[in-house]
Structure 1
Amino acid sequence: MKAIWSGALAAGFFASLIGIGTPTAASAGQPITIRIGYPGVGLDDRPVGYGDYPSIANIGKFVEAEFKNDPDVKVTWTFFRGAGPALNESLAAGQLDFAAGLGDLPSIVGRSHGLQTEYLASGGVHSPLYLAVPPNSTIHSINDLRGRRVAEFRGTNLQMATDRVLQVHGMTEKDVRFVGLDTNSATAALVSGAIDASFGGSEYLDLARRGVVKIIYSTKGDDPTLGAEAGLLVTKSFEQAHPDLTEKVVQAFVLAAKFGSDEANRNKVFEIWAKSGLPVQSFVDDFRNEQLAHRNSPVIDPYLVARYKDQVAHAKAYHLITQIVDVDTWFQPKYLQEALIALKLQHYWPTYDASGKKLTDGSVEQAKLAAD
C-alpha cells in the first residue's frame, strides 16, 4: 500500500494544494473531455466490466447518449487491471474526472490521503463473495482457513469484505496466510495449487461449474452486512467547475442503474456483462433467487452510509489509513436526488437500514410482484 501511494498520490495531492492541477475541461465554448475510470477488466484484460450497473453504463453508452446533442463534449473510459489502487493513482495524477464502481476501501484510502473526491451515488451494493478452493481440497468451511494460503486482492473492496467475513466467523487476518494477488493471478494460482483458497466474485462460478474449483462458501444467506460496496465518485475540481455536466453524468448512470434493475431486462443485462468474457450462466447463477435491483441500486440509504462508516473504522484499525474519513461530509447526494426526481424514480429501488433489514420495497419490486 505504501508503494502505491508514495509516488503518484503525493504528487497529485501536492499539485492540488498549490493549484497546479490538471482539470479536464477548458474554458467555456471549448471542447471538453469527461474522463471516467473503472476499477477492473474482463477476462484476458478486456476493457469492459461486469456485475454492476456502471459496466452497463459503459457498454450501453448511457453517458455518451446524455451528450449526443453536444458535439463539444467527449466521453472516455479507462479500465484498470490494478483495480482501485491503480485507479486512485490516476485520480491523483489528475488523469480522471469520475470513478465509476470504485470499491469502498480504495475510495476511503484515497480520501484519507487527500484525494479531493465527492461520493455521488452507490456504484453497486450487496455484492456477494465466494470462497473457491481446489476440487480435492480439505477446506470445507471458513474455520478451515486457519493457517492456509489464501489469495486476497489487497487495497480493493475485496480486502475489507474478506476481513468482515473472517470477523463474523470469529477470525482475523492473523489467522490466515494471505497472499496478495489480483483476480486473474489468484485464479491461476488456485488452479495450479499454488494457494489453498481465494475469495472472489462471479468469476469463480464458471470454473466451479466446470469442476476446476469448488465453491465452499458464499456471503449470500449469511449476515446481511457482508458483501462488497462501491461508489460513483467525482473529483471536487470537476464538480465545482462543471456542476451542469456532473448533473448529466449522474443522470446517465441512474438511467443505467434503472435498466440494470428492471427484471424485464434480466437476460439482456446478463448478455451485456458476458461481453467481459464470462459466460451468461455465471450471472444466472450469481443472481439466482435475487432481484437485480438488490445490487444495481444507486441509492444512498442508511445501510450504505453505515457500511462506509464501518469500513472507515476498520481501515483505521488495520492501519490502512491514518486520517479518519468523515463520511457525512464526503457523501454528496444532491445530484442523485435531483436525478431521481427528474426521472420520477424516487421510490424505484428498495432501501435498507444499517443492519441490512429492508425499509422499503421499491416500485421495481412491486412491479415484478404484479407481473407474477
Structure 2
Amino acid sequence: MATLAGLALSVSLTSALATDKAASSVLRVGYVGFEKGAHTSGVEGFLDFRGELRPLLEKAGIKDFTIVALPNGTNVNEALASDQIDIGLLGDTPAVIGRANGLKTRLLNIQPDLNAWLIAKVDGPKTVEELRGKTVATAQGSYMSKYLLGLLKEAGLEGETTFVSLIPPDGKAALERGDIAAFAYPAGFAQDILAEGFVAIDDAGKHPSLLGAEVAVVSDNYLSNNPDFPKIWSEIYQASVKAAHAEPDAFYAFFSEATGYKVESLKAAYPLSHWREESLPLSGLEQVRATSSFLLDQGIASDAVDVEAWVAR
C-alpha cells in the first residue's frame, strides 16, 4: 500500500488566486470545497451570508475579503506556501503535515471529532478484513487518509492493500466501475452516498484516535503584519458559532446550498455540537497532538509538531 511519505509542498497553483496583498486591509481565505460559491461552507460562511462577517472585518480595518474553494487540504497548503491566501480552513491532517514539513502557519481554531466513513457497493466487501488484496482510495493527505491508513494498520492489512488517491467526487464512479473496493469519505459526502444505496464497512467514530478535526490556520507572514488578528478571528469564530446555534434550520439550509449536500445528510454528519464557541478546546488540542504522533509514526510527517507552540496567541 502506498503511503503519503515525502508529501511535498508545491508552490504552484493553476487557479486565478490573487497574488497582491495590501497590508492588513486585505484578507484572503482558502477552504476545502467542491462548490465555488459566494461564501465559505462553514459557520463563518453562514455569518457572511447573514451580512455580519464583513462589518466585523471592516471594524478591524480589513476592507477587501476574498475566498477561494480548493479541492483538498494539500491545495490549501500549496496556496499558503505560495502566499496566495492568508488563512486556510482545512482538515487537521494536511495542516499538521504542512506545519511538520516547514509550512509557516499558526493555529487559530479547532473543531474536533470529525467522522469519516469507509464505503463500498452493496455487493462489495462487508468487512475491513475483506479488503485484503484489494484497492482502496481516498484523498491523499486528508483527514480521511489518516483514518484509512490507521484502520488498515489496526486490522493488520498494512501492505496488504493497494492505495490510490482520489478526491471524493470521483470516488462514486470508481466504486461503481469496480476500480476500487472501498472509499473513505468525509462527513457530509458520506451521508449522501449512503442515502444512494452504498453501504458503510466502518467509520472513524468506532476508532476515536482516528477521528479528524477541522482547523483554521493563518500564515506567519500575515500574522507578523497583523499581530492582533488572532483576537479578531476569535471574535468572528465565536459570533459564527452563536449564529449557527441561534438559527439551526437557516444554518443547515445555507450549509446545504454551500456544499451541495442534503440537509439531512449534514445534520447527521455535523450535529450542532460539532461547533463549539471555544476556539481551541482541550479535546481539539489533544486530537491534533494525536494526529501529529500518528503521522510521525507512519513516516508521513517529517517531524513532530509542538501544538502549543503552533497556537496563535
Q: Please indicate the TM-score interval, normalised by the length of the shorter structure.
A: 0.7 to 0.9
Alignment check: 8 A CA contact 2:147 2:204 kept: no
- Select the residue among 73, 78, 87 that pairs with 1:89: 78
User: Could you tell me how far 1:271 is from its partner in structure 2?
Assistant: 0.6
1:204 corresponds to 2:184: no
Alignment check: 8 A CA contact 1:153 1:159 kept: yes
SS in structure 2 at match of 1:8: coil
Q: Indicate how the Cα distance of structure 1 residues 54 and 84 shifts in structure 2: closer, same or farther if over 3 A, else same.
A: farther
Alignment check: 8 A CA contact 1:316 1:322 kept: yes
Deviation string for 1:325-364 (max 9, x for gaps)?
Answer: 21121123x3xxxxxxxxxxxxxxxxxxxxxxxxxxxxxx
- Select the residue among 46, 63, 66 that pairs with 2:56: 66
One-letter amino acid matched to 1:36: V
SS in structure 2 at match of 1:199: strand
One-letter amino acid matched to 2:212: A
Question: 1:59 & 1:142 partners in 2: Cα distance?
Answer: 41
User: Could you tell me how far 1:93 is from its partner in structure 2?
Assistant: 0.8
User: Could you tell me how far 1:84 is from its partner in structure 2?
Assistant: 0.9
Q: Indicate how the Cα distance of structure 1 residues 170 and 214 shifts in structure 2: closer, same or farther if over 3 A, else same.
A: closer
Alignment partner, residue 114 of structure 2: 127
User: Could you tell me how far 1:174 is from its partner in structure 2?
Assistant: 1.9
Question: 1:153 & 1:94 partners in 2: Cα distance?
Answer: 23
Unaligned runs of 5+ residues in structure 2 are 13-18
Question: 1:209 & 1:131 partners in 2: Cα distance?
Answer: 14
Alignment partner, residue 280 of structure 1: 263
User: Could you tell me how far 1:95 is from its partner in structure 2?
Assistant: 1.1
Alignment partner, residue 353 of structure 1: none
Alignment partner, residue 294 of structure 1: 274
User: Could you tell me how far 1:177 is from its partner in structure 2?
Assistant: 1.8
Q: Indicate how the Cα distance of structure 1 residues 94 and 148 shifts in structure 2: closer, same or farther if over 3 A, else same.
A: same
Question: 1:180 & 1:72 partners in 2: Cα distance?
Answer: 38
One-letter amino acid matched to 1:252: I
Q: Indicate how the Cα distance of structure 1 residues 298 and 133 shifts in structure 2: closer, same or farther if over 3 A, else same.
A: farther
The worse-fitting range, judged by mean Cα deviation, of 295-304 and 33-42 is 295-304
Question: 2:136 & 2:220 partners in 1: Cα distance?
Answer: 37
Question: 2:148 & 2:51 partners in 1: Cα distance?
Answer: 32
User: Could you tell me how far 1:324 is from its partner in structure 2?
Assistant: 2.3
Q: How does 1:163-312 map to 2 (within 5 A)?
A: 163-167=149-153, 169-201=154-186, 202-211=188-197, 213-220=198-205, 222-260=206-244, 262=245, 264-275=246-257, 276-287=259-270, 291-296=271-276, 298-312=278-292
Question: 1:247 & 1:105 partners in 2: Cα distance?
Answer: 25
TM-score (norm 2): 0.85
User: Could you tell me how far 1:308 is from its partner in structure 2?
Assistant: 1.7
Q: Indicate how the Cα distance of structure 1 residues 58 and 180 shifts in structure 2: closer, same or farther if over 3 A, else same.
A: farther
Unaligned runs of 5+ residues in structure 1 are 10-21, 335-372
- Select the residue among 6, 11, 25 that pairs with 1:8: 11
Deviation string for 1:22-79 (max 9, x for gaps)?
Answer: 88343xxxx721111112223xx657654x4345355445532313457861111111
Alignment partner, residue 112 of structure 1: 100
Question: 1:259 & 1:164 partners in 2: Cα distance?
Answer: 35
Deviation string for 1:104-125 (max 9, x for gaps)?
Answer: 1211121122221111111x22
SS in structure 1 at match of 2:8: helix
Alignment check: 8 A CA contact 1:24 1:97 kept: no
Identity within the alignment, %: 21
Q: Indicate how the Cα distance of structure 1 residues 113 and 210 shifts in structure 2: closer, same or farther if over 3 A, else same.
A: closer
Question: 2:6 & 2:209 partners in 1: Cα distance?
Answer: 31
Alignment partner, residue 24 of structure 1: 21
Alignment check: 8 A CA contact 1:129 1:199 kept: yes
Greater relative contact order, per chain length (Cα 8 Å cut-off, separation 6+): 2
Largest Rg, 1 or 2: 1
Alignment partner, residue 136 of structure 1: 123
Alignment check: 8 A CA contact 2:132 2:157 kept: no
Question: 1:61 & 1:95 partners in 2: Cα distance?
Answer: 25
- Aligned positions, number: 302
Deviation string for 1:148-182 (max 9, x for gaps)?
Answer: 21112111121112233334x43354232211111
One-letter amino acid matched to 1:38: Y
